[in-house]
Amino acid sequence: MQNKQLVFYYSLLAIPLAIVGLPLYIYLPTFYATTVDIEIATVGLIIFLARLSDVFTDPYFGYLSDKSIEYFNSRKPIMILGSIILIFSFYALINPNLDFPKLWLFTFSILVYIAWSMINIPYLTWSSEISQKYEDKTLLNSSRELFTIIGVLIALLIPYIYKVSEDFEQTLNILYISFLILFIPLFFITLKKVIIKTNIKVEKYTLENLKNIYKNMNDLKYLQIGYFFNNLANALPATLFLLFIELVIQEKSSSGMILILYFFAGITALPFWNFLSSKIGKKNTWITSIVLASTAFAFVPFLQEGDLNAFIIISLVSGLSLGADMALPTAIQSDLVQKSKNYESNISGLLFGIWTMITKLSLAFAVALSFTILGIFNFEASNPTSTSLFVLSFLYGIFPVILKLISIFFINKYEDSKV
């Protein structure tokens, strides 16, 4: 890519956005269940419903992102509005009103998810607009996801650096301050430096336009189905990680260290996946990374109490696949979004809205599916039976492998060719 600085400026925003994401998935549920004292099952249901509502709003915000070009010749206005909502709703979410905490959690979870989508959907769409070159889109998406992993590592390390990791309220507050310090300058640097010079014409379109794109582009359908199953496979162990390491490996104190090693492995391997994709293509590289992660996770059911070293090895090997899993699917989506303009008027934002909808749908399904199945087998974290621990291991290790094999079937139907 001719302008390497543009890649850097584009990627910067991913750091604070990642810092928002980690508290929502790791610390927030425990904070509301322990400090705020809402029943844990109720917390899970509220967050699930909030995620589910966000699933249906993402395509709409993708549509608004496209309309923003029509009225302002830029996607930036919707991002600025989203940033304001995110700053205030994130603060409110971690400082609940104790008179009606359930309504507070539900309302501000939805607002945070909406605000994040208002920023992230246009942000992802830029990767298909900054450059039309096949290799450039890989570089843009890989760089963005590299900075995402850096943001996650920052969010993981900060509570330990300030020695507040055991206090969820302090952890959330210090992460919010860290987010604010990074978000405000990096957001405006990215907006100032990323200038999309394009002659895109946004016409009025209907669901018929969208149907025509899927009709003419089977690749898009296969990619998104494969992405859903692969993302669901990734979301299951992410949802069950803390339970698995505490109840099966029985090394709860090592959870932070393993997460840091996992994401560090993702950073280390990302340049290799970029190199490999330039040789064998994005699709084949992505499938290779899925096979690697599946091979590692196939050993999970054999783990028992005290098998910490074996679990670390599995986490490191699967972590190597992280970069490819994060960057390549979106890069392929960027290629196909560019192709879609040959069939209908520009609806790039809408297509990326559907993409983020698929991401969140898989996360919502992971929570609902795993907790429902554990409930069927009368799983109790305080007194787990051998049967419930086997089900936990199956959901954590074997079921994701099955889902990844299904995803490979659909991904393989996509024809990887330079645009």
Residue 419 has pLDDT above 50, yes or no: no
Q: What is the pLDDT of residues 299-357, one digit of tens each?
A: 988 888 889 999 999 999 999 998 888 888 888 887 777 666 554 456 677 778 888 88
- CATH topology agreement for domains 1-200 and 208-419: yes
Query: Which of 352 and 390 is assigned the larger pLDDT?
Result: 390
Rounded Cα distance between 223 and 225, Å, is 6
For residues 9 and 189, the answer to whether their CB atoms sit within 8 Å is: yes
Tokens standing for residue 110: 């939805």
CATH class of 208-419: mainly alpha
Query: Which of 367 and 175 is assigned the larger pLDDT?
Result: 175
140-144, 343-347, 357-361, range with the lowest pLDDT: 343-347
Average pLDDT taken over every residue of the chain: 84
The owner of tokens 């050993």 is 299
Q: What is the DSSP string of 251-263?
A: -GGGHHHHHHHHH
The CB density around residue 304, as the number of other CB atoms within 10 Å, is 12
Q: What is the DSSP string of 336-394?
A: HHHHHTTTSS--HHHHHHHHHHHHHHHHHHHHHHHHHHHHHTT--TTS--HHHHHHHHI
What separation in angstroms does the CA of 83 have from each of 276, 354, 407?
A: 36, 21, 34
Q: Which CATH number fits the domain 1-200, given the four candidates 2.60.120.20, 3.40.50.2300, 1.20.1250.20, 3.30.460.80?
A: 1.20.1250.20
Q: What is the pLDDT of residues 59-84, one digit of tens each?
A: 888 888 877 877 777 889 999 999 99
Tokens standing for residue 45: 């249901």
Residue 232 has pLDDT above 70, yes or no: yes
The confidence band for 186, taking pLDDT boundaries of 50, 70 and 90, is: very high
- The predicted pLDDT at position 364 comes to 78
State the number of CA atoms in the 13 A half-sphere of 280 facing the CB: 10
Residue 61, judged by CB atoms within 10 A of its CB (0-12, 13-18, 19+), counts as buried
Q: Residue 57's closest CA among 354, 359, 363?
A: 354
Rounded Cα distance between 326 and 328, Å, is 6
* Domain limits, the chain: 1-200, 208-419
Tokens standing for residue 56: 């249906």
pLDDT, average across residues 373-385: 80
Q: What is the pLDDT of residues 31-58, one digit of tens each?
A: 887 788 887 677 778 888 888 887 778 8
**Hey, what long-range contacts does 257-262 have (CB within 8 A, 24 or more apart)?**
258/311, 258/312, 258/315, 259/156, 260/153, 260/156, 260/157, 261/312, 261/315, 261/316, 261/319, 262/315, 262/316, 262/318, 262/319, 262/322
162 Cβ neighbours under 8 A, 6+ residues apart = 170, 174
Residue 417 has pLDDT above 60, yes or no: no
